[in-house]
Chains A and B, each alone.
Chain A
Amino acid sequence: MRIQAPSRSRLLRIVVIRQCAKVVLAVFLGGIAGAALARYSAGFGIDEREMDARRSSASIETIRHSRSEGADFAVFCFGFLRGMAHGELGYSTTLNRPVADLIRERIAVTVAEICEGLALAIVASSVLAGLTAMRISRVLGAVSELVASVSLCVPVAILGYLCLLLRVAPFWAVAACTFPHLFRYTANLLDLADRKNHVIAARARGVSRFRLHTMHRLLPCVPELLATLSLVVSIAFGSTIPIEFATETPGLGQLAWQAASSRDLALLCVLTMFTAALVLSASGVAEVSRVWYFGERGAE
């Protein structure tokens, strides 16, 4: 009997199914774990309206009752999951709105912010890494490296404040904090590609500098760049909380901050699920693109 290695397409199918299962499991566990963290954190069930001197004891009692949702954590989880099965995402007790509405209203802002920021970072990193790899100018290489280093060392919230000062949109801050990762990875890949046999052979054949760079160095790196990009998406999403906090952008990052400050169980549960899905999907895409490109070796 001969054991056959699975074909690439079958392997790809297996990896895709496995990654999807991981995402589903992560969404479920992440939601519960996120809600548990909020439920058992200090200050849960507290409402600042209790401090209003005009309120009577009965009124304060009503507020406390209204914030007691989730006091019995098992009941909350059961109710929440049952609601999810019916397509409901729960109700935000602090913002007094259905969670689905809150997410719907703000998701476009954050998605636009991330897309624009990433687009800018990709263009900037590809151009600068390319020019650096082509060794057109040493100064340009040094400046690009310095910009990447500085962007990596400035706290993300400060980048947000700088956006306010310079009157530019927050996606610039997203671009600034993802640029160093993309630039350095692209530069490294191009550097490695430079030592590969087909590049050396092409150079020996006298292929033009531009063609050598684009067709022989950059193009073969695309799958790996794609894998990196999917990981950078989670970095970009993580950065939206401090950026939207600093710039007061009405997106999911700001919503997450509000939910955390007010220990809003249902809202946090959904946002954690969203984050878990994003992080796991990003690493899933990376995994799939590796398998797609490298076959069995990529699966390891």
Chain B
Amino acid sequence: MNLSKSLASLLLTLGLCVSLRAESVLRFCIRSEPRTLHPLLVDDDASETIRYLTGGVLVRLNRKTQECEPALASSWRVAANGRQIDFVLRQRVRFSDGSPFGPPDVAYTIQQLMSPELHSPTADSFRTGPGDVHTEQTGPDSIRVTFPQPVAGLAALFDQVPMMSSRSPMKEKAVLGPYIIEDRKAGSFILLHRNPNYWERDASGHQLPHIDTIRLEIQQSRDSEALRMRRGDIDFVSNLDPDLFDHLVAEKKSDLTVNDLGASLDSELIWFNQTSTSHLPASKRAWFTDANFRRAVSIAIDRDEICRIVYRGHATPAAGPVSPSNHAWYNSHLDAQKSSIEVAKKLLASGGFREADGKLLDRSGNPVEFSLISNSGNRNHERMLAIIQQDLQKLGIHLNVVTLDFASLIERITRTYDYEACLMSLTNVGIDPNEQMNVWLSSAGNHQWNPNQKTPATPWEARIDQLMTQQAAASNPAVRKKLFDEVQMIVQEQHPFIYLVHPDVLAAYSKKVHNVNPALLRPQLYWNVDKQEITE
């Protein structure tokens, strides 16, 4: 009797202990409300965050090593020159609602993904040519996916494809990732709770993830985000502004780790409007299509000053389209251009430009002046514009700086082509050059300086088209690297884009979060969230 009483009280105490254990909560900010919760329709950062935290994928790209690792697929093999991939799936994996996961779910997901009616942006990376994608179950736990054309970097692309259940009545709400959506308040927060059926376990056999809840605060302003970080209201900030970063470093807060992770994959760049259908005056069109003029402008801009003043030293002068942090694709033979007004003047003189009364005149005596547009409200862009304006003044070029709201800016650069030059950021999510196909192909809509060309306007654009198409079809990484190196060389020679800097990734995180392993690739701080722990 006594024994049973003791046992009962022990169980009660244990039960109380378990129920009283404080839930571990990780807090960080997203910039906006997610546009969609459908994992295959994700096309904004906030939705991408939700997808990463809730979606289970076959292959996961390790953000630190930049290598693919097994996830829901225990192994895979790419065959037929990149046209085919065979996956062996893990056994006894269940969706968050308890429904089992198997090859039919993979087939269903691929079918949904490639459906033309869905218009999934993720599917665009897999569409390298006409034809249908086929799936075939090759065993109880294995499946083969066959594409009509070779797809470069095929396995890594599956990092973006969360598996969906073909049987669950909850449809896309049944997930395989470490978290499930528990609650949300419009414009305020989204609450994620650990998925009780998550497949992964740690070395000691405990089910992951360790952290019970993630609270995503919707916070548009980086300033407010940094303020909350300083007050200890949130645990992570992945992209701090340089001056806010310096303030955090100077404060030397004992409970925070502040890291400059090095150059990001993103670039700040300028381009001139070379569109044939724009209503530019003939003289301006002649300057903008002259490679020497573009080169001179590029050399006149002091990238070191931009790094020092705008980014407080937390940026790297850019040599070309690929950041030095992208180890696999960076062309190490390229060097960022050193600013030299003398060299720029010589280049301009060779093109028939001359200086009179401090003003630069072209061959026909027209004073060289143009406008540079950028988006309003971007503090770094506004600062860069001021520096570029001063640098070009040294050449005698009068630069008219115009900032527009984002919608008006995009309208000008994609629809009306009513602009002369533009300063913008180029965000690179992945490391593979295939993700930039729509920038480099002359027929593409995002070939900003002269989009949607029927035939390449210049021989060097024709050569870039050829090289990009060849690298996309090649399966040998070394051959692809060689081909893309040449693209980078041409871009540096012709300057269709004048690359300025690669801003650093500036991150801060609370010391109470353990196993944080900051990486340059997105999501920089929580890419291994399932293994992270919190101690209060």
Instruction: Judge A-B direct contact (beta carbons within 8 Å).
Output: yes
Contact residues in A for B426 (Cβ distance below 8 Å): 53
Contact residues in B for A248 (Cβ distance below 8 Å): 218-221, 224
Stretch from B118-126, B293-301, B310-318, B344-352 at the A interface: B118-126
Stretch from B56-64, B183-191, B520-528 at the A interface: B183-191
Q: Report whether A53 and B435 are in contact in the complex, using a CB–CB cutoff of 8 Å.
A: yes
Q: Report whether A106 and B187 are in contact in the complex, using a CB–CB cutoff of 8 Å.
A: yes
A48, A57, A106, A164: which contacts B186 (Cβ < 8 A)?
A106
Q: Report whether A52 and B43 are in contact in the complex, using a CB–CB cutoff of 8 Å.
A: yes
Docked CA distance A254–B411 (Å): 24
**Does residue A105 face the partner (Cβ distance < 8 Å to B)?**
yes
Q: Which residue among A44, A60, A94, A106 has the maximum number of chain B CB atoms within 10 Å of its CB?
A: A60
Q: Report whether B445 and A261 are in contact in the complex, using a CB–CB cutoff of 8 Å.
A: no
Docked CA distance A58–B44 (Å): 18
**Does residue B244 face the partner (Cβ distance < 8 Å to A)?**
no
Interface residues in B155-184 (C-beta closer than 8 Å to A): none
The interface size bin for chain A is: 20 to 34
Q: Report whether B33 and A95 are in contact in the complex, using a CB–CB cutoff of 8 Å.
A: yes
Q: Report whether A102 and B407 are in contact in the complex, using a CB–CB cutoff of 8 Å.
A: no
Contact with A along B113-136 (1 / 0, CB 8 A): 000000101001101000000000
Docked CA distance A96–B188 (Å): 17
Interface size on B, residues (CB 8 A): 42
Interface residues in A31-59 (C-beta closer than 8 Å to B): 42-44, 46-57, 59
Instruction: For the complex formed, measure the closest distance between the CB of B147 and the CB atoms of chain A, giving whole angstroms.
Output: 15
**Does residue B289 face the partner (Cβ distance < 8 Å to A)?**
no
Q: From DSSP, what is the main secondary structure of chain A's interface residues? A: loop
Contact residues in A for B185 (Cβ distance below 8 Å): 105, 250
Q: Report whether A53 and B438 are in contact in the complex, using a CB–CB cutoff of 8 Å.
A: yes
**Does residue A62 face the partner (Cβ distance < 8 Å to B)?**
yes
Contact residues in B for A51 (Cβ distance below 8 Å): 410, 414, 446
Interface residues in A116-170 (C-beta closer than 8 Å to B): 164
Q: Report whether B121 and A261 are in contact in the complex, using a CB–CB cutoff of 8 Å.
A: no
Contact with A along B418-454 (1 / 0, CB 8 A): 0000000010111000011011000111100000100
Q: Report whether A164 and B415 are in contact in the complex, using a CB–CB cutoff of 8 Å.
A: no
Interface residues in B278-331 (C-beta closer than 8 Å to A): none
Interface residues in A244-300 (C-beta closer than 8 Å to B): 248, 250-251, 254-255, 261-263
B411, B436, B443: which contacts A43 (Cβ < 8 A)?
B411
Q: Report whether B411 and A46 are in contact in the complex, using a CB–CB cutoff of 8 Å.
A: yes
Docked CA distance A255–B33 (Å): 11
Interface residues in B222-247 (C-beta closer than 8 Å to A): 224, 227
Instruction: For the complex formed, measure the closest distance between the CB of A262 and the CB atoms of chain B, giving whole angstroms.
Output: 7
Q: Report whether B444 and A49 are in contact in the complex, using a CB–CB cutoff of 8 Å.
A: no
**Does residue B36 face the partner (Cβ distance < 8 Å to A)?**
yes
Interface residues in A1-54 (C-beta closer than 8 Å to B): 42-44, 46-54
Contact residues in B for A95 (Cβ distance below 8 Å): 33, 35
**Does residue B455 face the partner (Cβ distance < 8 Å to A)?**
no
Interface residues in A192-215 (C-beta closer than 8 Å to B): none
Contact residues in B for A106 (Cβ distance below 8 Å): 186-187
B217 (CB) vs chain A CBs: closest residue: A248
Instruction: For the complex formed, measure the closest distance between the CB of A264 and the CB atoms of chain B, giving whole angstroms.
Output: 11
Q: Report whether A48 and B406 are in contact in the complex, using a CB–CB cutoff of 8 Å.
A: yes
B44, B121, B188, B445: which contacts A57 (Cβ < 8 A)?
B445
Contact residues in A for B187 (Cβ distance below 8 Å): 105-106, 250-251, 254-255
Q: Report whether B220 and A60 are in contact in the complex, using a CB–CB cutoff of 8 Å.
A: no
Interface residues in A43-85 (C-beta closer than 8 Å to B): 43-44, 46-57, 59-60, 62
Contact residues in B for A263 (Cβ distance below 8 Å): 407
A42, A94, A164, A262: which contacts B408 (Cβ < 8 A)?
A42
**Does residue B405 face the partner (Cβ distance < 8 Å to A)?**
yes
Contact residues in A for B446 (Cβ distance below 8 Å): 51-53, 55, 60
Contact residues in A for B406 (Cβ distance below 8 Å): 43, 48, 261
Docked CA distance A46–B409 (Å): 10
Q: Which residue among B408, B436, B446 has the maximum number of chain A CB atoms within 10 Å of its CB?
A: B446
Contact with A along B179-206 (1 / 0, CB 8 A): 0000001111000000000000000000
Q: Report whether A49 and B407 are in contact in the complex, using a CB–CB cutoff of 8 Å.
A: no
Docked CA distance A262–B32 (Å): 13
Contact residues in A for B33 (Cβ distance below 8 Å): 95
Docked CA distance A222–B499 (Å): 66
Q: Supply 23 A–B pairs (Cβ within 8 Å), ascending by A.
A: A43-B411, A46-B408, A48-B407, A48-B410, A50-B414, A51-B446, A52-B43, A53-B426, A53-B438, A53-B446, A54-B125, A54-B438, A55-B124, A56-B124, A57-B438, A57-B444, A57-B445, A59-B124, A60-B445, A95-B33, A164-B224, A248-B220, A250-B187
Binding site for B on A (CB under 8 A): 42-44, 46-57, 59-60, 62, 94-96, 102, 105-106, 164, 248, 250-251, 254-255, 261-263
With contacts A50-B410, A248-B221 known, what are 7 further pairs, Cβ within 8 A? A42-B411, A48-B406, A51-B414, A53-B428, A60-B446, A94-B35, A250-B185
Report, nearest first, the 3 A-B pairs whose CB atoms are least far apart. A250-B187, A43-B407, A105-B186
